[in-house]
Amino acid sequence: MPVIMYREAIRDALAEEMRRDPRVFVMGEDVAIYGGAYSATQGLWEEFGDERVRDTAISEAVIAGAATGAAMCGMRPVAEIMYVDFMTLAMDQFVNQAGKNRYMFGGKTTVPMVIRTEGGAGRCIAAHHSQSLEAWFTHAPGIFVVMPATPYDAKGLLKTCIRDDNPVLFIEHKMLYNTKGEVPAEEYLIPLGQAAIRREGDDVTIVSYSRMALRAEEAGKALADSGISAEVIDLRCLRPLDIECILASVRKTGRLVVASEGYKNSNFVCEIIARVQEFAFDDLDAPIERVCAANCPVPMSPVLEDEAIPRADKIVAAAKRTLGKA
Amino acid sequence: MGLTMIQKVTLPKLGETVEKSTIERWVKKEGDSVATGDILCEITTDKATLEVESYYRGTLLKILAPEGVELPVGALIAIVGDPGEKIPESVLAEAGAAPAKSAAKRAAGAAPSAADEVAAAAPVAPAAAEGGRIKVSPRARRRARELGVGLAGIHGSGPGGRIVEADVEAARTAAAVKASPLARKLAARQGVDLAAVPGTGVRGKVMKEDVLRAAGQGAPPKPAPSLVEGAGKIVPWTPMRRVIAQRMLESKQTIPCYYLEMDADVTELVALRTKLNAEGGPKVAFNDFVIKACGKALRLFSAVNSRWASGGVERRTEVNVGLAVALDEGLIVPVVCEADKKSLRQIAAETADLAARARANRLRPDEYQDGCMTVTNLGMFGIRSFIPIVNPGESTILGLGMIEDRVVARQGNIEIRKVMTLTLAADHRLVDGAVGAQFLETIRDALEAPQKLVD
């Protein structure tokens, strides 16, 4: 099976969908001639030209607003916001217009658009370029939020998102772009709202997503060396959320650790914790542990950044705490 | 608090399903120096004796677990450190108990360090605290309700000293053990598993001295008085006897077996074996031919090479054949893996090695687990045929009787041939009669055309 990079998987998904459906087009800052700040759209402009791969002005509000309008007029735009940190400038267009128009127009319109963006720390580019802001968007009705951790998931999920008639926020991770994985050459789609169990286990459940899911897998291996059998779940999609997968696991293990790169306060994982205690209270054998980033702007110093963003060993420690093995 | 350089030695988990082990013998004594890799002690698990190596270098400062007492995996058994180093009281208090005991000292704001581990250990106590409110997890509470077990007095091993599901399960097992109230209280306080304590009271009741001894603090046991109900003395079960009893009972109670008997004409097999053994190399036994024949048959009959699993029938991909080996104090079944792929001579070399190590109690757990079927032979004792018991986890077992000269009718003539009776016991959930019969027939045919088994 071919082994390709995460960013190549994204580019391939875009190219395949653009070949398949002439309404699909790409727009964003430096996506065309430059091929994308992280090379995710490299080669597309050469194949599809100016009309379908469009460099925009440096205005996130314009990017999101134009994409919303185009989608309502029958196109299927895939717009790129270079850093999720800049979604702040696109919020009204994306959350209030794109997210709510189908409802507010009584179904007379749909907004089949995808905003691709990326977040996450690891490059020491500090507070405005390293955040994980998915919690803001999972909170808003009318929007789906997808966060793949592997090249296989990135391709399968992006294609599904492009074919979905809803506005979707597809959040990539800057540190995953050059990671490699097996991706079939034949076409495949991954449905939304389906988590992936990366490791089966009986003692404790670890739930995570995006780059933190890879750290959770590392934690699972380290725990196995200590004789602790962890079940590691990669959500892949935050909204819709595969709560059944999580609940089934917690019913088996009785213990839960949730991990995310977002700030600890009001992190998306709080939604998981709330639902687990709501639907599986009597299955819990220990309080749920939360492993998240520190409640401070992401530092620029490499040492501080490494401490502010959870490492695998912090997940290991949290899992051990649920077992009373502090 | 300064950093301490002591290293804790805990009872390792050797084998997937091992929960408890007993220290057979301390090889090193207190005060001996220890290098990384030195053997500290020998421990027994279900069926085998294994050596525990030291990860640390230094002096064995203190032995915290006595020989002959069953302890949970992970229990603190010794301390290695620099000579003359002081061992904190809190560490000594952890001796012999399973590791999940640190009282909740959530290090909120404190930097993690070796000092935290030492500070956090506290004497073991039941979870009732602060005005009588018992700390129990929701899951444990539900389990206690299901089992009808009271929560008061149960020792909590979860985070914050909370009672968790495992504690409720342990309490239920403990409740079934006959023990004096004082012994029960003492066991709960010391974190000793009552079910594992041999009792020397009337009718085997566990008394305070027995619990103290189990916790490493008592005098050696007085000989048990003879009881009215038996003329003889009660000898406590060895771990092996307990496992054999539990598994054989489970088999008889849960596996619906039927039995097929077939005679195999092994005249040619006997001659072939004599010829092969005259050629030199590892001696081939009759069992080795049978193992090979069974291996090939298992590969052909996927329904027989299967296991009853939750949700379905697990079709095994590998073919592992076990051979029952009698030991002084019981029996064990070492397994020849991939018996269908190995040559007869390879199987012969392997069974000789496995049997020798089995008798010396030197088998590794992975060498007696995961069999697909068992071959058992009582022919050497003059048994003509017998009805064997299927090992749980397998679908069939083949019993071999004595090879003897018998008068048989062959093509209208009376002849004397060497004949062995095969008895196959099969689990009818997995193997229907016709399938079992064909399976046994395949094995019989292979033994009657033994040249094909040699490669």
Question: B154 to each of A325, A326, B22, B191, how far by Cα in Å?
Answer: 19, 21, 25, 10
Does A283 reach chain B within 8 Å, measured CB to CB?
yes
Closest Cα in chain A, distance from residue B319 (Å): 25
**CATH 3.20.20.80 is the classification of domain A3-182:** no
Does A107 reach chain B within 8 Å, measured CB to CB?
no
Q: Which of B102, B105, B159 shows the shortest C-beta gap to A286?
A: B159
Asked, for residue B313, whether it belongs to a domain, the answer is yes
CB A199 within 8 A of CB A220: yes
Asked, for residue B34, whether it belongs to a domain, the answer is yes
Same domain, B275 and B414: yes
Asked if the domains at A3-182 and A196-322 fall in one CATH topology, the answer is: yes
Of the candidates B136, B125, B141, B189, the one whose C-alpha atom is nearest the C-alpha of residue B163 is B136
* Cβ under 8 Å to B: A residues 242-281: 254, 281
CB contact under 8 A, B139 and A285: yes
Same domain, B140 and B282: no
CB contact under 8 A, A287 and B159: yes
Asked, for residue B235, whether it belongs to a domain, the answer is no
Question: B372 to each of B120, B315, B362, how far by Cα in Å?
Answer: 47, 10, 22
Closest Cα in chain A, distance from residue B125 (Å): 15
Residues of A in contact with B160 (CB under 8 A): 287, 324
Query: Could you tell me which chain B residue has the CA closest to the CA of A225?
Result: B13
Out of B59, B89, B120, a domain closes at: B120
CB contact under 8 A, A283 and B139: yes
* H or E element at residue B315: strand B312-315
Does B311 reach chain A within 8 Å, measured CB to CB?
no
User: Which of A252, A285, A288, A323 should we substitute to test contact with B (largest number of B Cβ atoms within 10 Å)?
Assistant: A285
Residues of A in contact with B162 (CB under 8 A): 286, 324
Q: What is the CATH number of the domain that holds B168?
A: 4.10.320.10
Question: Around B214, how many Cα atoms within 13 Å sit in the side-chain half-sphere?
Answer: 28
List chain A domain ranges.
3-182, 196-322
Residue partners of A219: CB distance under 8 A and separation at least 6: A206, A230, A232, A312, A313, A315, A316, A319
Same domain, B88 and B210: no
Of the candidates B95, B91, B222, B105, the one whose C-alpha atom is nearest the C-alpha of residue B159 is B105
Query: Could you tell me which chain B residue has the CA closest to the CA of A288?
Result: B159
**Residue A213 to residue B356: CA distance in whole angstroms:** 48
CB A229 within 8 A of CB A201: yes
Q: What is the CATH number of the domain that holds B25?
A: 2.40.50.100
Asked, for residue B229, whether it belongs to a domain, the answer is no
The domain containing residue B84 runs over which residues? 7-102+113-120
Q: How many domains does chain B have?
A: 3
Asked, for residue B41, whether it belongs to a domain, the answer is yes
Residues of B in contact with A287 (CB under 8 A): 159-160
- Chain segment A161-203, per-residue pLDDT in tens: 999 999 999 999 999 999 999 999 999 999 999 999 999 999 9
Residues of A in contact with B106 (CB under 8 A): 326
Same domain, B298 and B380: yes
- Establish whether A173 is a catalytic residue: no
* Phi and psi, residue B452, nearest 5°: -70, -15
Residues of A in contact with B100 (CB under 8 A): 323-325
Does B418 reach chain A within 8 Å, measured CB to CB?
no
Same domain, B158 and B65: no
* H or E element at residue A158: helix A151-163
Same domain, B354 and B297: yes
CB contact under 8 A, B137 and A281: no
> What's the pTM?
0.53
CB contact under 8 A, A286 and B165: no
ipTM of the complex: 0.72
Q: Tally A–B CB contacts below 8 A.
A: 55
**Residue B65 to residue B62: CA distance in whole angstroms:** 9
CB contact under 8 A, A286 and B162: yes
pLDDT in tens, chain B (455 residues): 445 578 888 888 776 667 788 888 898 888 898 888 888 988 887 667 788 888 888 889 888 888 888 888 888 888 888 887 888 777 777 776 555 443 333 333 333 443 333 333 333 444 544 456 788 999 999 998 888 888 887 888 888 788 999 999 988 877 777 788 788 778 877 777 777 787 877 777 888 888 888 877 655 555 555 545 556 788 888 888 888 999 999 999 999 999 999 999 999 999 999 999 998 888 999 999 999 999 999 999 999 999 998 888 999 999 999 999 998 888 999 999 999 999 999 999 999 999 999 988 888 888 888 899 999 999 999 999 999 999 999 999 999 999 999 999 999 999 999 999 999 999 999 999 999 999 999 999 999 999 999 97
Residues of B in contact with A253 (CB under 8 A): none
Query: Could you tell me which chain A residue has the CA closest to the CA of B118?
Result: A326
**Span A196-322: which CATH code?**
3.40.50.920
Asked, for residue B20, whether it belongs to a domain, the answer is yes
Of the candidates A311, A310, A300, the one whose C-alpha atom is nearest the C-alpha of residue A127 is A300
Same domain, B298 and B201: no
Q: What is the CATH number of the domain that holds B253?
A: 3.30.559.10
Query: Could you tell me which chain A residue has the CA closest to the CA of B157?
Result: A324
Asked, for residue B231, whether it belongs to a domain, the answer is no
- Chain segment A106-139, per-residue pLDDT in tens: 999 999 999 999 999 999 999 999 999 999 999 9
